[in-house]
Each structure stands twice: as structure tokens, then as C-alpha cells.
Structure 1
Amino acid sequence: MLRAPSTDFWQVGIVPLALEDVDPHSLRAARERITWLPDAGRWRYLADPFGLVRNDALHVFVEAFDYRVKRANIERHEFALSDLAWRSRTTVLDLPFHLSYPQVFEHQSETWMVPESYQAGEIALYRAVDGSLNRWARECALISGVPGADASLVEHEGQWWMFYTLVGPGARDQRELHVAHAPALTGPWTPLPANPVRVNREGARPAGRPFVGRDGVLTLPVQDSSTGYGGATRLLRFPVLTPQRIDIEAGTERLTGDLASDSHTAGLHTLTGCGGFTLIDVKRIDRSRGKQWLDLKRRLRRLLGN
């Protein structure tokens, strides 16, 4: 008899804490005050949240994955800033390849997004058209010819930095951290000769927007996949970050799904700040046989040309 597969389902939450204040104790204490995004529907999930505050609203951008087609597009969920009441859901970027990890940010009076698009063989920059958060145009490739994943950008001490991983054999994306730098957002981007700068399944793949902590040290959330993909997040600190030298300090605290949820306890793999909020996603694992039938139907549709 065929073994029932394991299928991951993620759920996105808004934690009413600034990112610098999130630790295992504070996250557990805040769990009853977490606002969860609406259920995505059968065989779908939402993950990889990033946010923008604009006027009276919090805009949460997420990967919206559908197992029926085995790829995702990018959705925007709007919440009232005053009470986090959910207002609307809009698909804002839908391309012929998988999209996820929609890091959004503002720079020089423009709004930008760097979604994961490793299936297109590039790390690309998108710009909001006419300031609309629902229309995006590809601006340029930042790094071409690489299956880059979870690219996380930050401007720090007069230079742009990109933290990313590469998809490849042996689950290398779960254990490698690569770094590139540039004089401007649009480049030219130069990967460090020492890449990968860290190889460690306990904390290498980026897991959210880099930020400068209260001690002035640049800090990057990373995934800890030592117990399974996206099992937890932890923090990496970079007290020295130059094109010639990188010093990395790995935090020991792990943030796990059970700290935030009773139903999604198997993982927590995104941790990103947005104003006074922290956005997270947590995972549950389904072990039913429904996924096998779903995969079979998808293969039959492909064979029949539908």
C-alpha cells in the first residue's frame, strides 16, 4: 500500500509586537492577540508574509500557493490599521512560474518588490506602477542566471546588501547563505567571492527582512531546518559586514510554531517586521491520502493537454 504523503500547509499571522521585542516568551504571551489571515481554501495556503503601512491600512503581501497547479502567485491582504479588521484580498502578481517571498519596501519615493522567482533563473526587481499596490512591472534583473531564493535586501551604511540562497541538489537552499552587494538598488550587484558565507542547516536560508537592532548591528532572520523544512527561525547578527570581511554571530533562541498556534505547530519560517507589528507564518502537516489523488488528477490533465 502506498504511504500517505506529508503535505505542508502554512498560515500567516500578524503579531502585535515590534520585531525587536519578539522572543519565545513574548511570542507565547501574545498568541491570543495574533490576527490570522483568512483561510486560503482547500489545497491552498498562504505563507512568506511581508508588509507595508500606508495611510490607515496595513498591507500584507503573501505567497498564495495552490497544490492543484503546484505553484503560487502573490496576494495583497489589506487590514485596517486601527483594529486589524480584514478588508480585502487582491492577486497582485501572477506569472507563468512560481512566485513567493514578496519582499516589499519603499525607496526614493517608489515602492518595490523582490519576489522569489527562482524558476525564471533570476532575482528580479519589480516596481509598483503609478504607486498602485495592485499593479507591478518588472524593472530589471538584479542577478541573472541563478536559481536564487528568498532574496532579502537592505540598505546599510551607504551600501545595498542582498542575502539569498540557491536552489539545488541536496536541499542546498536549506543550508546555504549567499551575500551580494551593490552601490545602488538597481546594481550592479556583486556576489561575494567567499559565497556561501555560511553552510548550516540550523540557520542559513533567509527568513525575513533584514533589520538593524537596537544595538546598531544588522540582523537577519533565518530558517532553522534542522528538524525539517521551515521548522523554526532564529537570528544571525553581522557585527562586521564589508565586501572584504563578514563576521556572523548566530542566535541561540528558536521561534517555533507551537509558540503562536495550537493547530500549526510544525514550523515557523518567516519573521519580518512592519512598523509596530511582526509578520509570521506557521505550519501544520497533513498526512491524508488526498494529496496523492490530487497529484494523479494533475498528471492526467497534463497528459490530456488540459
Structure 2
Amino acid sequence: MLKRPRTDFWQVGIVPLLIEDVTACALQAARERITWLPGAGRWRYLADPFGLVRGDALHVFVEAFDYRTKRANIERHEFALADLTWRGHTTVLDKPFHLSYPQVFEHEGETWMVPESFQAGEIALYRAADDSLDHWERECALIGGVPGADASLIEYQGRWWMFYTLVGPGARDQRELHIAHSPMLAGPWEPLAGNPVRVSREGARPAGRPFIGRDGVLTLPVQDSSTGYGGATRLLRFPMLSPERVDIDAGAERLTGDLVSASHTAGLHTLSGCGAFTLIDVKRIDRSRGRQWLDMKRRVRRLLGG
């Protein structure tokens, strides 16, 4: 008998909690006040949330993955800032390759996005073409010729810093943390000579926007995949970060899906601050046989050129 396939489904939530205040206890205490994004539909899920506050709205950008095509595009979900009423969603970036992890931020009067596009062999910068946040134009490649994933950027102490991982054999992307730096957002970006600066399945792949903690230390959410992909999130602190030296304090606390959800307890792999909110995603695992038929139909369509 064929083994039942494993299918991961993610759900995105808005936690009314400052990212600087996130702990396991704080997440659990906020559990009943989380606003969850609407369901994505059959064989789809939403994950990798990043946000922007504009006027009276919270804009949540997510990876929208479809198992029928095995790739994702980027959606924008809009919420009323006052009560988090959902106003609708729009697909804002769609390419012939997989897109995810849409880190969005503002800099020098423009709105930028650095989505994961490792299948295109680059880490690229996109710019919002208008104030609607629905149209984006590729500005440039920040780092080309590499299968970079989950690039997370921050301006810190007069320089731009990028934390990322590389997709490769042996689940390399789940255990390596790389860093690059630049005097300007558009580059030139220079990877550190000591990359990877951390190798550990317990916390290396970036899992959200870097931030400055209350103690002034740069902090990076990272995935803990020691129990499976995206099983939990940890916070890495960088007491020293310079082109010549990187000191890392790996926090022991694991942030898991069961802290915030009764149905999606198998993982929590994004933790992204946005104003007074922290955006998260949590995972459930499905083992129905419907996935086998779905994969078979996709292979047939490919063979037939459809």
C-alpha cells in the first residue's frame, strides 16, 4: 500500500503584540486576540507574512501557494487598522517561478519588496510603482547568480545588512545562515568572508524582519527545523555585528504553533513585526490520499504540454 503523502498547510495570523515583547508566554496570553487571515481555498495556503501600515489600513503581504501548480505568487490582504476587519485581497506579484517571503519596507520615500525568488537565481529588489501597493517593478538584483532564500534586510549602524540562506543539497537552506552588507540599499552587496556564520538546524534560516530589541541589540527571527521544516521559531541576537566580526547569542526559547492555535500545532516559521502587531504563520499537516491524485494530474498535464 502506498504511504499516505504529507502535505503542509499554513495559516497567517495578526497578533496584537509588539515584536520586541514576543515570548512564548506573551504569545500564549494573546492567543484569543489573534486575527486570522481567511482560508486560502482547497489545496492552497498562505504563509510568510510581512506588513505595512498606511493611513487607516494594515497591509499584509503573503506567499499564496497552490499545490496544483507547486508554486506561489504574492498577495496583499488589507485590514482596517481600527478593528482589523478584512477588506479583501489582491495578487500583486506573479512570475513564472516560485515567489515567497515578501519582505516589504519603506526607505527614502519609496516602498520596496525583496521577495524570495531563488528559482530565478537571484535576490532581487522590487519597487512599488504606485501608492496602491498592487503594482511592483523589478529594480535590480542585489545578489545575482545564487539560489538565495528568505533574504531579510535592515539598515543598522550606517550600513545595510542582509541575512539569507542558500538552497542546496541536504536541506542546506534549513541549516545555514549567511550575511551580506552594503553601504546602500541597491548595493554593491558584499557577502561576509566567513559565511555561513551559523550552521544549525535549530536556528539559522531567517524567519522574519530583523529588529532592534529593547536592549539595543539587533535581533533576527530564525527557523528551528530540528523537528521538521518550520517546526518552530527562535530569536538570534547579535551583540556584535560588523564586516570583520559577528557574535551570535542563540536564544533557547522555541516559539511553536501550539502556543497560539489548536488546529495548526505542527509549526511556526515566520515572526515579523509591523508597528503594534506581530505577524505569524502556523502549520498543520494533512495526510489524505487526495494529494496523490493531485500530483498525478499535474504530471499528466505537464506531459501533455498543458
1:113 and 1:10 map into 2 onto residues whose CA distance is 22
Contact 1:110 1:131 in 2 (8 A): no
1:85 aligns with 2:85: yes
Match of residue 159 from structure 1: 159
The superposition leaves residues 255-294 of structure 1 with CA deviations (integer Å, 9 ceiling, x where unpaired) of 0000010000000000010000000000000011111110
Match of residue 276 from structure 2: 276
1:14 aligns with 2:14: yes
1:4 aligns with 2:4: yes
Give the secondary-structure state (helix, strand or coil) at the position aligned to 2:170: helix
1:130 and 1:202 map into 2 onto residues whose CA distance is 40
Match of residue 201 from structure 1: 201
Match of residue 224 from structure 1: 224
Return the letter of the residue paired with 1:67.
Answer: Y
Moved beyond 3 Å, runs of 4+:
none
1:61 aligns with 2:54: no
2:48 and 2:213 map into 1 onto residues whose CA distance is 21
Match of residue 94 from structure 2: 94
How many residues are aligned here? Answer: 306
Give the secondary-structure state (helix, strand or coil) at the position aligned to 1:101: strand
1:193 and 1:291 map into 2 onto residues whose CA distance is 43
The superposition leaves residues 141-177 of structure 1 with CA deviations (integer Å, 9 ceiling, x where unpaired) of 0000000000000000000000000000000000000
Give the Å deviation of 1:131.
3.0
Superposition TM-score, scaled by structure 2 size: 1.00
Give the Å deviation of 1:230.
0.1
1:148 and 1:61 map into 2 onto residues whose CA distance is 20
Question: Which blocks of at least 5 consecutive residues in structure 1 are unaligned?
Answer: none
Return the letter of the residue paired with 1:191.
Answer: P
Match of residue 182 from structure 1: 182
Question: Which blocks of at least 5 consecutive residues in structure 2 are unaligned?
Answer: none
2:147 and 2:263 map into 1 onto residues whose CA distance is 33
Match of residue 114 from structure 1: 114
1:100 and 1:302 map into 2 onto residues whose CA distance is 23
1:108 and 1:73 map into 2 onto residues whose CA distance is 27
1:213-252 superposed matches below 5 A: 213-252=213-252
Give the Å deviation of 1:132.
2.9
Give the secondary-structure state (helix, strand or coil) at the position aligned to 1:295: helix
2:27 and 2:132 map into 1 onto residues whose CA distance is 33
Return the letter of the residue paired with 2:84.
Answer: L
The superposition leaves residues 219-263 of structure 1 with CA deviations (integer Å, 9 ceiling, x where unpaired) of 000000000000000000001000000000001111000001000
Return the letter of the residue paired with 2:12.
Answer: V
Q: Percent identity?
A: 82
Give the Å deviation of 1:29.
1.1
Give the Å deviation of 1:139.
0.1
Give the Å deviation of 1:31.
0.7
The superposition leaves residues 115-136 of structure 1 with CA deviations (integer Å, 9 ceiling, x where unpaired) of 0000000000000003330000
Return the letter of the residue paired with 1:93.
Answer: L
Give the Å deviation of 1:26.
1.1
Match of residue 29 from structure 1: 29
Superposition TM-score, scaled by structure 1 size: 1.00
Contact 1:7 1:285 in 2 (8 A): yes
2:239 and 2:185 map into 1 onto residues whose CA distance is 22
Match of residue 266 from structure 2: 266
The RMSD of aligned alpha carbons is: 0.5
Give the secondary-structure state (helix, strand or coil) at the position aligned to 2:171: helix
Return the letter of the residue paired with 2:17.
Answer: L
1:139 and 1:116 map into 2 onto residues whose CA distance is 15
2:133 and 2:263 map into 1 onto residues whose CA distance is 32
Give the Å deviation of 1:21.
1.1
Match of residue 71 from structure 2: 71
The superposition leaves residues 180-203 of structure 1 with CA deviations (integer Å, 9 ceiling, x where unpaired) of 000000000000010000000000
Return the letter of the residue paired with 2:175.
Answer: R
Give the secondary-structure state (helix, strand or coil) at the position aligned to 1:194: coil
Return the letter of the residue paired with 2:87.
Answer: R
Match of residue 293 from structure 2: 293
